[in-house]
Structure 1
Amino acid sequence: MRYAVAGPSLLAQLWRFRAYGRPHRRRLIGGIGLRVGELAADLAQPWPLAIVIDGVLRHRPPSGVVGALTAPLPGRPLALLVCAALAALVIALFSGSFDYFGDRVMNSAGERITSEVRRDVFAVLQELPMPFHDEHTVGELTSRVVTDTDRIEDGLVDVFSTLVPGVITLTGYAVAMLLVDWRLGLVACVAAPVVFATATRYTRLTRESSRQRRRAEGMLAGLTAEVLTGMRTVHATGSQAVHSTRFAQRNTATLHAGLRSVDLRARFTPLLEGAAAVGTAAILLVGGYGVLDGWWTVGLLVVVLAYLRDMLRPLRALSRLSITLTTAAASAERVSEILDQPRRAASRAPQARSALEPAEPPATGRITLRGVTFGYGDRTVVRDVDLEIGPGERLVLQGPNGAGKSSLLALLAGLYEPDRGQVCLDGVSFLDLTDARRHRAVSVVLQDTFLFSGTLRENLRLTRPDASDSDVRRVADAAMVSDFATDLAQGLDAPIGEGGIGLSGGQRQRVGIARALLADTPVVLLDEPTAGLDPDAEKAVVTALERLMVGRTVVMTTHRPELLRLATRHAVVRHGRVVEVTPKMQRLAP
Structure 2
Amino acid sequence: MIVAFRSMLQEAFKGLHGHWLTITGLVVFGSLLNGSFTLVDPLLTRAIIDKGIIGHDVRLFAVLAIATAVLGIGYRVASRLYELFGKKVQNQIAETVILQAVDDCLKVAPYGNDQTRSAGYYVSRIYDEPVSMATSLISGVSAVCVSGTSFVAAMVICVYLSWQITVGLLCIVPLLLYLANHFAPQLNSLVKRTAVEEAEAREVIGGVSQASRTIQIFSLAGHARTLVRQSLGKALALGYDGVKAAKTYDMYSQSLLTVAEVLVFITSGYAVAVGNLTIGGLLAFMNVFWKLISAGRRISLQYSECVAFVSKIHRIHEFGATSRAPVEYEPPQTAVVECDAITVKYDDKLVLGGLDISIGPTERILLTGSNGSGKSTFINLIAQFLTPSDGRMRVISVQQISAALSPFYFLPGSVKDNLQFDGLTRLEKDRCFALAREMGIDDCMNAVSTTALSDGQRKKMQILMALLKDADLYLLDEPLAHLDIASKEAIIRMILRETSGRALCVTMHGDKQFWQLFDRVLHIGGLGAEEQRERDEIRTVV
Name the residue aligned to 1:453: 412
Q: Does 1:45 align with 2:45?
A: no
Matched AA of 1:446: L
CA change 1:90–1:337 in 2 (3 A) is same
Q: Helix, strand or coil: the match of 1:554?
A: strand
- 2:13–2:20 Cα contact (<8 Å) kept: no
**Which AA in structure 1 matches 2:401?**
V
CA distance in 2, matches of 1:465, 1:382: 41
Contact 2:459 2:482 in 1 (8 A): no
The equivalent residue for 1:484 is 441
The alpha carbon displacement at 1:220 in A equals 0.9
Call closer, same or farther: CA 1:26–1:150 in 2, change over 3 Å.
closer
1:320 is aligned to 2:270 = no
Quote the Cα distance in structure 2 between the aligned partners of 1:583 and 1:472. 42
2:447 is matched with which residue: 494, 518, 522? 494
Aligned to 2:497: 547
Q: Deviations over 1:286-322 (max 9, x none)?
A: 3322322222323223322222211111222222213
Structure 1 residue 110 and structure 2 residue 90: aligned?
yes
Aligned to 1:94: 74
Q: For residue 288 of structure 2, what is the amino acid of its counterpart?
A: Y
CA distance in 2, matches of 1:245, 1:514: 42
Give 1:306's match in structure 2, choosing from 258, 275, 287: 287
| Residue 244 of structure 1, CA deviation | 1.5
Distance in 2 (CA, whole Å) between partners of 1:387 and 1:267 is: 65
Equivalent pair of 1:220/1:250 in contact (CA under 8 Å)? yes
Moved more, 241-250 or 287-296: 287-296
* Aligned counterpart, 1:15: 11
Native 8 Å contact 1:28 1:109 kept in 2: no
Q: 1:224-373 alignment to 2 at 5 Å? A: 224-346=205-327, 366-373=336-343
Shift of residue 518 of structure 1? Answer: 0.9
CA contact (8 A) 2:129 2:312 kept: yes
Structure 2 spans left out of the alignment, 5+ residues: none
Could you tell me which residue of structure 2 aligns to residue 535 of structure 1? 485
Going from structure 1 to structure 2, the CA distance change for 1:146 and 1:26 (only over 3 Å counts) comes to closer
User: C-alpha distance in 2, partners of 1:341/1:39?
Assistant: 43
C-alpha spacing 1:531/1:245, structure 2 compared with 1 (3 Å): same
Q: By how many angstroms is 1:42 displaced?
A: 2.6
Which stretch of the first structure deviates more once superposed, 332-341 or 10-19?
A: 10-19
**Equivalence for 2:534:** 580
1:53-92 deviation line (CA, Å, top 9, x unaligned): 4345655xxxxxxxxxxxxxxxx44334323322321221
Deviation at 1:568, TM superposition (A): 1.2
Distance verdict in 2 for CA 1:445–1:161, change over 3 Å: closer
Q: 1:64 maps to which residue?
A: none
Secondary structure at 1:373 match in 2: strand
Offset of residue 363 of structure 1:
10
Q: What corresponds to 2:99 in structure 1?
A: 119
Q: How has the CA–CA distance of structure 1 residues 286 and 409 changed in structure 2, closer, same or farther, with 3 Å as cutoff? A: same
Structure 1 stretches lacking a partner, 5+ long: 1-6, 60-75, 357-361, 427-436
Q: CA deviation at 1:106?
A: 3.7
Q: How far apart are residue 284 of structure 1 and its match?
A: 2.6
| CA distance 1:148–1:27, change in 2 (3 Å) | closer
Equivalents in 2 of 1:482, 1:152: separation in Å? 48
The answer for the alignment partner of 1:390 in structure 2 is 360
Aligned residue identity for 1:29: G
- Look up the match of 1:201: 182
Q: Which amino acid aligns with 1:529?
A: P
Is the contact made by 1:480 and 1:544 (CA closer than 8 Å) also made in structure 2? no
Displacement of 1:346 in angstroms is: 4.7
**Counterparts of 1:566 and 1:117, CA distance in 2:** 49
Task: Please state how far the C-alpha of 1:525 moved relative to its aligned partner.
Answer: 1.8
Aligned length: 533
CA contact (8 A) 2:27 2:142 kept: no
Aligned mates of 1:211, 1:481 — CA distance in 2: 54
For residues 457 and 391 of structure 1, what CA distance do their matches in structure 2 show? Answer: 31
String of CA shifts for 1:318-342, please: whole Å, max 9, x gaps: 2221333343333322221222224
- Kindly indicate whether residue 430 of structure 2 is the aligned counterpart of residue 473 of structure 1: yes
- For residue 526 of structure 1, give the secondary structure of its aligned residue in structure 2: strand
- Deviation per residue, 1:236-262 (Å, 9 max, x gap): 433222212211221222222222233
- Cα drift, residue 225 of structure 1: 1.4
What is residue 377 of structure 1 aligned with on the other side?
347
Cα distance change, pair 268–419 in 1 and its aligned pair in 2 (3 A): same
Q: Would the aligned equivalents of 1:35 and 1:102 in 2 still touch at CA under 8 Å?
A: no
Task: Describe the shift of the 1:549–1:230 C-alpha distance in structure 2 as closer, same or farther (beyond 3 A).
Answer: farther
Q: What is the aligned counterpart of 1:424 among 377, 391, 394?
A: 394
Find out whether 1:28 has 2:24 as its counterpart. yes
8 Å Cα contact 2:355-2:533 kept in structure 1: no
Partner in structure 2 of residue 66 of structure 1: none
CA distance in 1, matches of 2:63, 2:449: 70
Rounded Cα–Cα distance in structure 1 between residues aligned with 2:427 and 2:448: 20
Q: Offset at 1:562?
A: 3.2
Structure 1 residues 309, 374: CA separation in 2 closer, same or farther (over 3 Å shift)? same
The amino acid of 2:123's aligned partner reads T
Please state whether the residue corresponding to 1:131 is helix, strand or coil: coil
Q: 1:213·1:254 contact (CA, 8 Å) conserved in 2?
A: yes
Secondary structure at 2:424 match in 1: coil
Displacement of 1:471 after TM fit? Answer: 0.8
Task: Choose 311-320 or 324-333, whichever is displaced more.
Answer: 324-333
Answer yes or no: is the 8 Å Cα contact 1:195–1:276 preserved in 2: no
Give the structure 2 partner of residue 415 of structure 1: 385
Any idea what the Cα deviations from partners look like across 1:83-118, whole Å, max 9, x if unmatched? Answer: 332232122133223323333334422321221111
Contact 1:269 1:320 in 2 (8 A): yes
Q: Distance in 2 between matches of 1:446 and 1:342?
A: 21
TM-score by length of 1: 0.82
Contact 1:516 1:548 in 2 (8 A): no
Deviation at 1:23, TM superposition (A): 4.6
Distance across 1 between alignment mates of 2:333 and 2:495? 21
Distance of aligned partners of 1:16 and 1:563 in 2 relative to their CA distance in 1, 3 Å threshold: farther
Aligned to 1:520: 470
CA distance in 1, matches of 2:9, 2:362: 53
Counterpart AA for 2:446: D
Contact 2:375 2:507 in 1 (8 A): yes
Contact persistence 1:170–1:314 (CA under 8 A): yes
Quickly say closer, same or farther: Cα 1:238–1:459, change in 2 above 3 A.
farther
> Which sits farther off after the overlay, 182-191 or 18-27?
18-27
Q: Which amino acid aligns with 1:374?
A: V
1:142-157 aligned within 5 A: 142-157=123-138
Deviation, 1:148, is: 0.6
Aligned pair in 2 of structure 1 residues 328, 162: CA closer, same or farther (>3 Å)? same
Change (3 A) 1:158 1:383: same
Aligned residue number for residue 187 of structure 1: 168
1:368-421 deviation digits (Å, cap 9, x = unpaired): 101211111211211222222222122222333333222222211211011222
Aligned AA (2:90): G
The 3 A distance-change label for structure 1 pair 125 and 533 is same
- Is the 8 Å Cα contact of residues 446 and 526 (structure 1) preserved in structure 2? yes
Deviation, structure 1 residue 275: 0.6
Partner SS state of residue 272, structure 1: helix
Change over 3 Å in CA distance of 1:135–1:246 after alignment to 2: closer
After TM superposition, give the deviation of residue 45 of structure 1 in Å.
Answer: 1.4
Residues 551-590 of structure 1: per-residue CA shift (max 9 Å, x gap): 221222222123312111122333334233666989xxxx
For the residue of structure 1 that corresponds to 2:344, the secondary structure is strand
Distance 1:207 1:24, change over 3 A: closer
8 A contact 1:37–1:98 mirrored in 2: yes
